[in-house]
Amino acid sequence: MLDPSGGCTHAIAIVIGGLPIVVRCSNPAFIQMLAHRYAGFVSSSIDGSIQLEIDIGDAVPIALGTDAALEVHRINGRWIMQRGDFRAEWDPVARCGRVRQGLQPYAIDGVLRIIHSLELAKSGGFLMHSASVVRNGRAFLFGGISGAGKTTIARLAPPDVTILTDEISYVRRNGEGYNAFGTPFAGELGIAGEPIAAPIAALYLLAKGIDNRTCLMAPGLAASRLLRNILFFAQDDDLVKKLFDTACEFISRVPVYELTFRPDAEVWSLIQ
């Protein structure tokens, strides 16, 4: 495919949560790397509602690393995203953007998460710091901060459980309920989730203990704990308010439990 400047542009469509994002770059090695990294979430069609042009160059201060502070803010209707390893602009009306980064996957991974979080926030969904699985056609979420046991729960899952993610859950409103989608965003488990979706039956907020037990949480506490685990990166008062309303709506429709567990497979007897 030829770009307007006469060069050769390579493209790949990455579909997460049913939303295709087409990534274009003149460097074929970069596109091949993405095809491997997002295997299972790549579409054979490069049609998509969102288009991203990637500029690979040394001008990005890669030496700062991905731990450098992330900034996401809106200027004149365009989202500006910047971290130590990338700088990106995205126009949510034109549905297109440009990313300046080095030849490594972590920057575009961050950009994809940000764009998905912005799109979900507008439509009553969210990204959540949680593991999620499908069992008997229903999805279950397991939320918590780092070290709470998300990867442990996923690792202990029995054979009849399909892993959607052990790190970042993708939650989208679906009529009167919510669906969870598989994501390629892996945690310590080191493997991508399956590219499927299922209606959410329950959210479990994790706590480590000496035995296995669940306790239905009061709505106020459940909303507070849920909000702590929602991933949102932008400095935008309107969308933050929207997310607060979404969290309250979610807990009114999905039961939220505190799940105290010890690290053995018996905990799965509580997840039905």
Taking only the tens place, the pLDDT of each residue in 110-162 is 999 999 999 999 999 999 999 999 999 999 999 987 777 889 999 999 999 99
SS3 category, 196: coil
Q: Which residue has the higher pLDDT, 270 or 4?
A: 270
CA distance linking residue 113 with residue 136, whole number of Å: 28
Please state, in angstroms and rounded to a whole number, the distance separating the CA atoms of residues 86 and 111: 9
Between the alpha carbon of residue 241 and those of residues 11, 120, 221, 245, 260, the distances in Å are 36, 13, 18, 6, 31
| pLDDT(1) > 50 | no
Residue with tokens 């731990």: 67
Instruction: Kindly tell me if the per-residue pLDDT of 60 is higher than 90.
Output: no
Average pLDDT over residues 70-86: 95
CATH of 126-270, one of 3.90.228.20, 3.30.465.10, 1.10.760.10, 3.40.50.300: 3.90.228.20
Extents of the domains making up the chain:
10-122, 126-270
- Please write the tens of the pLDDT for every residue from 202-250: 999 998 888 999 999 999 999 999 999 999 999 899 999 999 999 999 9
CA distance 71 to 65: 14
